[in-house]
Homo-oligomer: A and B are copies of this chain.
Amino acid sequence: MFRKDSPADADFRAEAREWLETNLPHTLRGMTARPHPPEIMPWYKALSKRGWIAPHWPKEYGGMGATLAQQIIISDELARLSAPHLPVQGINHLGPILMRYGTPGQKAQHLSRIISGEVIWAQGYSEPGAGSDLASLTTRADDKGDHFVVNGQKIWQTWGHYADWMFMLVRTDANATPKHAGISFMLVDLKTPGIKARPIMNIADDDEFAQMFLDDVVVPKGNLVGPLNGGWKVANDLLAHERLGTSSPQHTMEVLARIDRVSKANGKAADPIFRDKLAALRIKVTAQAAMFWHAVDMIATGQPLGPSSSTMKLVATDNLQAATDLLIEVAGANGADSERLTTDGEPTDVTQIFLQSRRATIYGGSSEIQRNVLAKRVLGLPG
């Protein structure tokens, strides 16, 4: 919607499409649950070898140095084949942070091993007692001269039980006011003694998360990223940029494609009432695409998205959930099946994606938190 490829981009798209169609194993297409890292890492490494694992990274760090248009083409084409989600904490999150805040040594040690897929990273921000109120986190790193000793718990580590390293926020000043001024950003090798991971099954019976227990874990001083007690800024600086990816209309369009398949298979496609609901949803997704492309233009011209990216996340996640609502509705008497439905071409899962979509308004800052942020920082409301 809205954009047409330039001739050069069209060539790039054709190239990407052909390569992906040839190389993405069929067993990894059309999945709802994320396959486990052992199943997925060969594909990660294949993409890496092709040079496409990190389109947005500069070439000097082993990335593709792609234009924003090319980045979007790659993600479009991956979505077109319903390619599986990859472990992206290293590529999307830690990589850009290290490029901005890392020491030369940290960059040399970690960046190439993210690109190669040699190291899987987990993100260690949330804690059982610190979710929406992240700044109140209590996992503490005590300064022992040449190293820190870390004690506490982290939760919601995506594939934490498969990860090799974790970047995390820890408390390095218990008395800081405001609380976020006492937080540091550091890296920990998960093979360090004292670390245990407990897998957590999610509502869709997918063991994607883990809880990490840290008990007298020794972390070298050299693993601190950015200044001591400066971790809050390190972690939050690139957040708005990241929200762009989660707000892409592609996610909801993938659900629309399922709705299409199911409604054609069971005849609902001809029902005018269903068609009206579908049109309403498509219109909203078109508006969301407009917001997305507006944000892309902002970034492409070097302007900060700032807290306004929260607006996009609210709209995007509402649409995603409205789409999965319609998906289980159109499935009718099969709307609670946990098996895939028989549809033309490929079987279509309806309930797992409905359940998975619950996450959209909770993770990455719940919708309530996004609204708080917008009320204060964009509309200037008091309190």
Q: Decide if A382 is an interface residue (CB 8 Å cutoff).
A: no
Q: Decide if A276 is an interface residue (CB 8 Å cutoff).
A: yes
Q: Decide if A383 is an interface residue (CB 8 Å cutoff).
A: no
The 4 closest A-B pairs by CB, nearest first: A273-B276, A272-B272, A272-B273, A273-B273
Q: Which residues from B are CB-within-8-Å of A272? A: 272-273
User: Using a CB-CB cutoff of 8 Å, which residues 266-280 of chain A contact chain B?
Assistant: 272-273, 276
Query: In the complex, how many residues of chain A place their beta carbon closer than 8 angstroms to a beta carbon of chain B?
Result: 3
Q: Which residues from B are CB-within-8-Å of A276? A: 273, 276
Chain B proximity of A251: nearest CB distance (Å): 27
Q: Whole-angstrom distance between the alpha carbons of A272 and B275 in the complex?
A: 11
Please give the count of copies of this chain that the complex contains. Answer: 2
Q: Whole-angstrom distance between the alpha carbons of A250 and B273 in the complex?
A: 28
User: Using a CB-CB cutoff of 8 Å, which residues 71-129 of chain A contact chain B?
Assistant: none
Can you report 5 residue pairs joining A to B where beta carbons are below 8 Å apart? A272-B272, A272-B273, A273-B273, A273-B276, A276-B276
Chain B proximity of A245: nearest CB distance (Å): 35
Q: Whole-angstrom distance between the alpha carbons of A272 and B271 in the complex?
A: 9
User: Using a CB-CB cutoff of 8 Å, which residues 316-339 of chain A contact chain B?
Assistant: none
Name the residue of chain B whose CB is nearest to the CB of A276.
B273
User: Using a CB-CB cutoff of 8 Å, which residues 246-282 of chain A contact chain B?
Assistant: 272-273, 276
Name the residue of chain B whose CB is nearest to the CB of A275.
B273
Contact with B along A179-213 (1 / 0, CB 8 A): 00000000000000000000000000000000000
Chain B proximity of A374: nearest CB distance (Å): 19
Contact with B along A219-234 (1 / 0, CB 8 A): 0000000000000000
Q: Whole-angstrom distance between the alpha carbons of A138 and B272 in the complex?
A: 57
Q: Whole-angstrom distance between the alpha carbons of A273 and B273 in the complex?
A: 5
